[in-house]
Amino acid sequence: MDMSFSAEEELFREEVRTWLGEHLVGDFARLRGRGGLGDMDAFVEERIAWEQELGRGGWTGLAWSKESGGRGASLVEQVIFLEEYARSRAPGRAGHIGEGLLGPTVAAFGTDAQKARFLAPILAGTEIWCQGYSEPNAGSDLAALQTRAVRDGDNWVIDGQKVWTSLAMVSQWCFVLARTGAGSSRHEGISCLLVRMDQPGVRVVPIRQMTGNAEFAEVFFDGATTPVDHVVGPVDGGWKVAMHTLAHERGASTLGQQADFTNELRALVQVAKDNGAANDPGIRDRLAELWMRLKVMRLTALRTLSAHDRGELPREAMITKLFWATWHRDLGELAMDVLGPDAAVLREGHDHDLHRLFLWTRSDTIYAGTNEIQKNLIAQRALGMPR
């Protein structure tokens, strides 16, 4: 047991901090605090430019292996980076789906040609990706998906519909799960296709969320095409590929989540001090409870990370998504209670951020596996309860 960072790790922290301090200036300075969850449609152009700035600095693909062009950073270094990134209030990453989901999937399952074609632009921030999994009839039950791709000469021809596709409106590429096998059903005969978004067969219709803005969209495929060699992993064997991607979505990439959450809790504490809510015993009790659970979120993440180093997937890793999603939703609810009567009024500034937090966090317990699905997984996989 040693919870301190080594001298090299502290040097790394210093390097990240210095770089961010020197580059989050000029046009980028006003991006501080913007573009995070619930705000992903803000300053998109500017955030893509920032993504490219990060790429030039070698700060994209931290977790990627060196062969993939990444930094090959350790998990501890990744956590340090994310903590410093949040501390500097650097903007929400426009390229997070490519970096966090598609890139690792291509690195694990892709051909050499695919790696050569797709990885570098993600690192450079020049190609933005979206994830085409969910469909109107396939949400929690992803294996019910119906989008179909049929072989036609050198191309796949894709027909169907995706929904809730985050950032589809700004993406150049989408990784699409589609049925390719004859007589395909459930987990069999699915493939993972890499599809260009700017083509006649693809139509994107933004969906306005309960937050009022649109971060996700419907995506219609109507005879869209992609070359036959743009399938990641085996044709008809895409389920395994999809599960690999989901593991990333729910796993290590959320290790730094608590760093952003700390900023939010800190901001809420300031509001509570300013408006007097900090004198209310009930509010104090709940702020303390959230602080404690935030600390524990970090600790459990670090425990998971130490187990990773030993090549284990411990059961505490399986509680991560449920834990942070529920924590964040509780924070959103407490934010309204801190505002008190002003919860009913929409205002600019801090209040605005708190309302966005309150509304956005209703989605945290839905995407990347709903709380109910997480509990099913914990019961069945971590506790071995019967199906």
Partner 1 sequence: MKFALSDEQISLRDAARAFLAELPGPHAMTEQDGAYNADAWSRIVGEQGWTSILIPADHGGWGFGRMEMAVVLEEAGRKLTPSPLFSTVALGVTAIDTLGSDAQKAEHLAAIAGGATATLADQGSVTAQRDGDGWLLSGEAVRVIDGDTAEILVVWTNAGAFVVPGDAVQRARVPGLDTTRPLATLRFDGLRVSDEARLPGADLERVRLSAGLLLAAEQVGGAEDVLDVTVDYTKVRKQFGKPIGSFQAIQHACADMLVLVESARSAVWYAAWAMDVGAPDAELAVRTAKALASDAYFRCAGSAIQLHGGIGFTWEHVCHLHFKRARAGMALLGEPSVHRAAVAAAMLDGDSAWT
Ligand X SMILES: Cc1cc2nc3c(=O)[nH]c(=O)nc-3n(C[C@H](O)[C@H](O)[C@H](O)COP(=O)(O)OP(=O)(O)OC[C@H]3O[C@@H](n4cnc5c(N)ncnc54)[C@H](O)[C@@H]3O)c2cc1C
- Closest alpha carbon to 33 in 356, 328, 363, 277: 356
Joined tokens for residue 85: 């990134």
Q: Is 106 exposed, middle or buried (0-12, 13-18, 19+ CB in 10 A)?
A: buried
Joined tokens for residue 296: 């524990």
- Amino acid 70 reads G
Rounded least distance, CB 77 to ligand X, Å: 27
Q: 6 contacts which partner out of partner 1, ligand X, none, CB within 5 to 8 A by kind?
A: partner 1
Under the binding rule (CB under 8 A), the answer on residue 273 touching partner 1 is: yes
Under the binding rule (CB under 8 A), the answer on residue 385 touching partner 1 is: yes
Under the binding rule (CB under 8 A), the answer on residue 19 touching partner 1 is: no
Rounded least distance, CB 278 to partner 1, Å: 4
Residue nearest to ligand X (CB): 139
Site string for ligand X, 211-230 (x = CB under 6 A): -----x--------------
Pairing of strands 202-207, 216-227: antiparallel
Joined tokens for residue 231: 């399938």
Under the binding rule (CB under 8 A), the answer on residue 7 touching partner 1 is: no
Q: 140 contacts which partner out of ligand X, partner 1, none, CB within 5 to 8 A by kind?
A: ligand X
Rounded distance, CA 213 to CA 96, Å?
19
Q: 57-76: which residues touch partner 1 (CB under 8 A)?
A: 76
CA dihedral (99, 103, 107, 109) positive or negative: positive
Rounded least distance, CB 326 to ligand X, Å: 13
* From 84, 99, 215, 249, the catalytic residue: 249
CA dihedral (97, 103, 108, 112) positive or negative: positive
Return phi, psi of residue 133, to 5°: -105, -65
Q: 299 contacts which partner out of partner 1, ligand X, none, CB within 5 to 8 A by kind?
A: partner 1
Rounded least distance, CB 53 to ligand X, Å: 24
Site string for ligand X, 86-125 (x = CB under 6 A): ----------------------------------------
Judged by CB, which is closer to partner 1: 152, or 309? Answer: 309
β-partners of residue 237 are 190
Under the binding rule (CB under 6 A), the answer on residue 262 touching ligand X is: no
Rounded least distance, CB 348 to partner 1, Å: 24
**Applying CB under 8 A, which of residues 151, 266, 347, 352 lies at the interface with partner 1?**
266
SS (H, E, C) 284-326: HHHHHHHHHHHHHHHHHHHHHHHHHHCCCCCHHHHHHHHHHHH
Joined tokens for residue 145: 């998906």
Under the binding rule (CB under 6 A), the answer on residue 326 touching ligand X is: no
Judged by CB, which is closer to ligand X: 5, or 367? Answer: 367
249 has catalytic annotation = yes
Q: 285-314: which residues touch partner 1 (CB under 8 A)?
A: 285, 287-289, 291-293, 295-296, 299-300, 302-303, 305-307, 309-310
**Applying CB under 8 A, which of residues 182, 210, 344, 383 lies at the interface with partner 1?**
383
At 146, is the secondary structure helix, strand, or coil?
coil
Neighbours of 310 (CB within 10 A): 7
β-partners of residue 129 are 173
Applying CB under 6 A, which part among 4-12, 267-275, 277-285, 362-370 lies near ligand X? 362-370
Q: 154-173: which residues touch ligand X (CB under 6 A)?
A: 164-166
- Closest alpha carbon to 176 in 126, 118, 226: 226
Joined tokens for residue 192: 């993972």
Q: In sequence order, what DSSP letters do the residues of 47-61 get, joined into one string?
A: HHHHHHHHHHTT-SS
Binding footprint of partner 1 on the chain (CB under 8 A): 1-6, 9, 76, 266, 269, 272-273, 278, 281, 284-285, 287-289, 291-293, 295-296, 299-300, 302-303, 305-307, 309-310, 315-316, 319, 322-323, 372, 374-376, 378-380, 382-387
Active-site residues, by number, are 249
